[in-house]
Amino acid sequence: MNKIDIKTRRTLLWAIFLSVGFPLGIAMTVIGFTKGQSFRAMGIVGIILIVMGFYGAPMVWIHFGQLKYFSRLKAQIVGDGIKSVKMLAEVHNRNPEVVANDVKTMVQKGYLDGYLVLDNERIIDKTTMRDKDYEMMEAERAGTLNLVHCPFCNAKFELINDVGVCPYCNSKITKEMLDKSVKAYNKSDK
């Protein structure tokens, strides 16, 4: 069992205890202060349960809801393999910036080990990250990552640092080749 599930169960138990303790505290207070001196301790415990239930139960239930949301996010990231912040935001009907901050919070609190958020757009598993992923990260930051069409098979792929290999036809593509093919295409249109 992972860290977030343990914390969610503990929070649920506290929320149930405080929710049940509130009406129980009311009954204990009434009985404790109407039955005489021997029941005064029950009345005091009843007052404590009323205060804890009245003020604590809503806060604990809200915290439980947040933990369940984090648990669903983790299940979608780890189990379903959703790595796009925009897609998670659409699923949960939230702003992508809020979802990115929530995932960062999960990483900081240790609920989502081995992941990181890149540019508030993608979630990357650090354990399976390859050298190509690091190259893509650096190319994105430097602005040299381009989405292009292969001139041989017309497949879309990412050109990193003006050089790439088409994943479909294994042709080596450079930025110069693409520029020449675009110029040749434009000349044939005229």
The gap between the terminal CA atoms of the chain, to the nearest Å, is: 66
Q: Are residues 2 and 37 in the same domain?
A: yes
Beta bridge partners of 122: 84, 118
Say if residue 4 is in the same domain as residue 41.
Answer: yes
Question: For tokens 């901050």, what's the residue?
Answer: 101
Is residue 100 located within the same domain as residue 148?
no
pLDDT for the residue numbered 35: 86
Residue type, 64: F
For residues 74 and 112, is the Cβ–Cβ distance under 8 A? yes
Q: Is residue 169 part of a domain?
A: yes
86 and 72 within one domain: no
Split the chain (190 residues) into runs of 10 and give each run's mean pLDDT. Answer: 89 96 94 87 94 95 95 90 86 90 90 82 75 58 65 74 75 72 49
Query: Which tens digits make up the pLDDT trace of 133-182?
Result: 555 566 555 655 566 777 788 777 676 666 777 777 887 877 777 666 54
> What does DSSP say about strands 172-174 and 156-160: parallel, antiparallel, or unpaired?
unpaired
The string of DSSP codes covering 44-107 is HHHHHHHHIIIIIHHHHHHHHHHHHHHHHHHIIIIIS---BHHHHHHHHT--HHHHHHHHHHHH
Q: Are residues 149 and 183 in the same domain?
A: yes
Count of domains for the chain? 3
- Please give the pLDDT value at position 112: 86
CA distances to 67, 107, 114 from 125, in Å? 21, 11, 6
Rounded Cα–Cα distance for residues 103 and 109 (Å): 10
**How many Cβ atoms are within 10 Å of 166's Cβ, its own excluded?**
20
pTM of the predicted model, to two decimals?
0.63
Residue 134 lies in a domain: no
User: What is the pLDDT, as a whole number, of residue 160?
Assistant: 67
Amino acid at position 167, single letter = P
The confidence score (pLDDT) of residue 186 equals: 46
**Whose structure tokens read 């989502």?**
112
Residue 165's domain comprises 143-189
